[in-house]
Amino acid sequence: MAQHSLRNKVAIIGAGMIKFGELFDKSFETMIEEAYLNALKSVDKGLDPKEIEAAWLGTLYPPQGNSGVLLSFATGLFGIPVTRVENACATGSDAFRNACFAVALGLYDVALVVGVEKMRDDGGGLIQRTAVKQLWGGRGVTMPAFFGLHATAYMHKYKISREEIALVSVKNHRNGALYPYAHYRFECSVEDVLKAPYISYPLGLYDCCPVTDGAAAVLICRAELASQYTDKPVFVLGSGLATETFFRGGDLTSFPATRYAAQQAYEMAGVSPDDIDVAEIHDCFSITELISYEDLGFAPPGQGIALLKEGIVQLEGSKPINPSGGLLAKGHPIGATGVAQIVELFEQLRGQAGPVQVKNNPQLALQHNIGIGRTATGSVSCVHILGRG
Amino acid sequence: MAQHSLRNKVAIIGAGMIKFGELFDKSFETMIEEAYLNALKSVDKGLDPKEIEAAWLGTLYPPQGNSGVLLSFATGLFGIPVTRVENACATGSDAFRNACFAVALGLYDVALVVGVEKMRDDGGGLIQRTAVKQLWGGRGVTMPAFFGLHATAYMHKYKISREEIALVSVKNHRNGALYPYAHYRFECSVEDVLKAPYISYPLGLYDCCPVTDGAAAVLICRAELASQYTDKPVFVLGSGLATETFFRGGDLTSFPATRYAAQQAYEMAGVSPDDIDVAEIHDCFSITELISYEDLGFAPPGQGIALLKEGIVQLEGSKPINPSGGLLAKGHPIGATGVAQIVELFEQLRGQAGPVQVKNNPQLALQHNIGIGRTATGSVSCVHILGRG
């Protein structure tokens, strides 16, 4: 394996997003434009759009095939390279990853990464038709049904109750109620979670992320140039990406792709799970967050629930997880999700996260996505580790 | 602009493809697998699949959203990063480009790039529905109609006849008849081209590329490792990518995105258009090849036709273009197209192109794609320059 890495070669200098929600009144391009302008505005010492030398767009189902040029139309950035990346629910973070390669290589001084998804409109229809067709055709399961199987297997193996899993939803909705950009801004109790209609046993309505539109953008530069743009850059320390399938063994209580991606990212960053101060992780369903605690090395197998019960992962805890409300409350506009996680961690590491600012003076942050595909037997995971300058 | 580049950092050590055609009998994964195995077999000193540390997949409309993991299923390469890139008709070459970034950075020693498209089956239906819907909805034109406008504008501005444009189709079908992997393996005369039914005036059946299934794969490594795998590596010297729109000026007789992408690639490689010995360029329609001669700097505006009339771009000429038959004869399975062009140029530069081997002992090769999107008012182009070791 090559010994070179991304570590300390790329700085995030700006980050912005739009309020997630059911955005029927915004086009795909309008969402890109607003997230981009918010990212531009966040650059402390200013950045001229002419300095942006390349762009990456993360989106799962754009309104048309040639989606790179949509970013140009939305931002006015023509004449530069624009690449679309797609990697299921890890789409946004993988777009960020590829942008980091080009900037770390020194090919571009400044690059833009935008993640966007219109789930409730045209694109969402296509996503739903495709997902349902593929999943039903292949395995007879939809996404909630698939994660319901994971939840059942986990509950059985580790003797965990629905009440315990509900603590994920309660925590994330509590954070989301405080987070200005979240789709759902209300708290819910364990009782609310348990009383909600089942979507797919044992997962009820509050165990499932909503169908959400949104966009997010980050501006990155070569690390040595960061001080031109801000005195508070955030550096990319590690990146990992991996695929895996349940056909190759294991049970449904772990996503091995996350383990591989996390190992790559930890090794590149030279840090361990214990070093992480704050994380945005992929809670598409409540059970996914619980399993991911373990796959990311935050807890031994079957013991993730302790992090919730002991308050460690709460906003005030020693390792707050999903201060933004996570996918459960903030929403999960596929292509935007990973980029929005990075936006949030950028603000957390700079102490600018407002009502959801964590209290442990974070130095190191972890971002995590998981994606399911190939008739639910294969998965992908992407992990980034970010650090304060 | 950053001064770093890809130049001489990445070597192509293996390349393979499958015969293009109407491949109803092959699945998306089967096509990937066969192209991958052909690329593996082409590595002169052998390559263990375990040495492949990362992969990129270029595909426009995969059978489902999470397409990265499809490459894993098709090749058995699980546990490594797999990223899907899409960039309209430049999808394959942009996947190659992003893979080159990671390898040039030294993050991976060996990486795989696969391009694939199933146009005549499920995916193709989606492509056609989406393309027709978007184009009709936005501008009232389909792809042949759009390129028909380009042809009309070009013919009017430069006093070029249909007979003259037909020389592109005649040349490429002559090459395709010799190329074992081409979809259409027959010659056609100027008379055949002129007599064929109109698809969209002035473009007839032989002025348009067919609807084709296919896959192609290349294996790349860090340049300094190339000699472990082959004594005849091909090096990546330059890469360019750009977007543009006709809303920003210009007429229909040039695709400025190609001009920008070519300029980036030539500058990176430190070469000029005159230095190019052989090229695979994007002849989705006959007129596109003619315009691209000029956008790539092979001829002044309006004078591209001379390259055909003087035999310069013929297989036996001093600058053969589309020795594989181009998109017109070989076919245009979107995600596979750019990668297949690189496969062909790899073989040309190594003197292994068999019946279509060019006669000018090529040292430098150029690969070019153009893609149309955003209701035909925006375009993207990708250009690579490859050189013999």
Cβ of B134 within 8 Å of Cβ of A64? The answer is: yes
Eight-state DSSP code of residue B7: T
Distance CA B254, CA A142 (A): 47
Q: How confident is the model at residue A2 (pLDDT cuts 50, 70, 90)?
A: very low
- Do B52 and B118 belong together in one domain? yes
Interface probe for B, chosen from A4, A60, A69 (most Cβ of B below 10 Å), is: A69
Percent of the residues in chain A that have a pLDDT greater than 70, as a whole number: 92
Range of the domain at A362: 10-123+209-388
Q: Catalytic: which of B282, B332, B368, B384?
A: B332
Nearest-Cα residue of chain B relative to residue A127: B65
A125 falls in which pLDDT band (50, 70, 90)?
low
- B371 and B277 in a single domain? The answer is yes
pLDDT of B136 higher than 50:
no
User: Which has more pLDDT, A70 or A328?
Assistant: A328
Residues B40 and B159 in one domain: no
Terminus-to-terminus CA distance in chain A, angstroms?
28
pLDDT tens readout for residues B62-90: 876 667 889 999 999 999 999 999 999 99
Judged against a pLDDT cut of 80, whether residue B122 lies above it is answered with no
Whether residues B315 and B180 fall in one domain: yes
| pLDDT score, position A135 | 47
> Are residues B326 and B358 both part of a single domain?
yes
Q: Are residues B152 and B276 in the same domain?
A: yes
CB atoms B65 and A67 under 8 Å: no
Q: Are B88 and A65 in contact (CB under 8 A)?
A: yes
Active site residue B332: yes
Question: Helices A162-178 and A286-295, interaxial angle, to 10°?
Answer: 100
CB B347 within 8 A of CB B214: no
Tokens of A34: 């607003």
Same domain, B103 and B152: no
User: Which pLDDT does position A127 carry in this prediction?
Assistant: 55
Q: Stretch A372-381: mean pLDDT, rounded?
A: 78
Tokens of B179: 């190329």
Residues of A in contact with B88 (CB under 8 A): 65-69
What is the reported pLDDT for B140?
A: 54
pLDDT at B126: 52
Residue A250: predicted pLDDT: 85
Phi, psi (rounded to 5 degrees) for A62: -70, 165
Query: Taking CA atoms, what residue in B is nearest to A5?
Result: B107
Residue B269's pLDDT is: 96
Q: What angle do CA B204, B205, B207 make, to 5 degrees?
A: 65
pLDDT in tens, A58-88: 998 887 666 788 999 999 999 999 999 999 9
Q: Which pTM value belongs to this model?
A: 0.96
Residue A142 lies in a domain: no
pLDDT of residue B129 exceeding 70: no
What is residue B141's predicted lDDT score, i.e. its pLDDT? 65
pLDDT of residue B67: 73
Q: A77, A105, A133, A267: best mutation site toward chain B, by most B Cβ within 10 Å?
A: A105
In a shared domain, residues B205 and B216: no
pLDDT at A128: 55
Cβ of A244 and B79 within 8 Å? Answer: yes
Does position B296 have pLDDT exceeding 70, yes or no? yes
Let me know if residue A164 belongs to a domain: no
Average pLDDT, chain A: 92
Establish whether the linkage from the previous residue to A355 is cis, with ω within 30° of 0.
no
Residue B152 has pLDDT above 80, yes or no: yes
Which CATH number goes with the domain that contains B30? Answer: 3.40.47.10
In the predicted model, what is the mean pLDDT of residues B278-283? 98
φ, ψ of residue B263 to 5 degrees: the values are -60, -45
Q: Which residue has the higher pLDDT, B376 or A197?
A: A197
CA distance A277 to A292: 16
Residue in B3, B84, B105 closest to A85 by CB: B84
* B288 and B152 belong to one structural domain: yes
Residue A315, domain member (yes or no) = yes
Q: What contacts B181, CB < 8 A, 6 or more positions away? A: B17, B18, B19, B20, B324, B330, B340
* pLDDT for the residue numbered A332: 96
Residue type, B28: F
Structural domain includes residue B222? yes
Interface size between A and B, measured as CB pairs under 8 A: 225
Q: Distance between CA atoms of A193 and B151, rounded to whole angstroms?
A: 62
Q: Is B115 in the same domain as B198?
A: no
Task: Tell whether B358 and B296 lie within a shared domain.
Answer: yes
CB nearest B107 (choices: A2, A242, A260): A2
Query: Residues 6 or more apart from A16 whose CB is under 8 A from it?
Result: A35, A36, A37, A38, A39, A40, A41, A42, A216, A217, A343
Per-residue pLDDT tens digits for B17-51: 999 999 999 999 999 999 999 999 999 999 999 99
Phi then psi dihedrals of residue B75, to 5 deg: -115, -15
* pLDDT at res. B137: 42
Test the A interface: residue of B105, B126, B141 with most A CBs within 10 Å: B105
Per-residue pLDDT at B203 exceeds 50: yes
Q: How confident is the model at residue B125 (pLDDT cuts 50, 70, 90)?
A: low
Question: Which of A5, A241, A248 is facing B83, going by the closest CB pair?
Answer: A241
CB B260 within 8 A of CB A79: yes
Name the residue among B4, B60, B107 with its Cβ closest to that of A107. Answer: B4
The 10s digit of each residue's pLDDT in A334-375 is 999 999 999 999 999 999 999 999 999 999 999 999 998 766
Average pLDDT, rounded, for chain B: 92
**Tell me, what's the pLDDT at B322?**
98
Contact A65 B68 (CB under 8 A): no
Catalytic residue positions of A?
Answer: 89, 332
Yes or no, beta carbons of B88 and A107 under 8 Å apart: no
B373: nearest CB among A1, A64, A240: A64
Q: What is the total count of domains within chain A?
A: 1
Q: What is the pLDDT of residues B160-172, one digit of tens each?
A: 999 999 999 999 9
Say whether B156 is catalytic: no
Question: Does residue A291 form part of some domain?
Answer: yes
Same domain, B221 and B348: no
Does residue A137 register a pLDDT over 50? no
Q: Is residue A326 one of the residues assigned to a domain? A: yes
Q: Compute the distance between CA of residue B63 and CA of residue A3 in angstroms, rounded to an integer.
A: 36
Greatest CA separation found in chain B?
Answer: 57
Write down which residue in B195, B228, B261 finishes a domain.
B228
Return d(Cα B252, Cα A330) in angstroms, integer: 45
- The verdict on residue B1 lying in a domain is no
User: Quick check: B66 and A130 CB within 8 A?
Assistant: no
In this structure, is residue B177 part of a structural domain? yes
In tens, the pLDDT along B339-359 reads 999 999 999 999 999 999 999
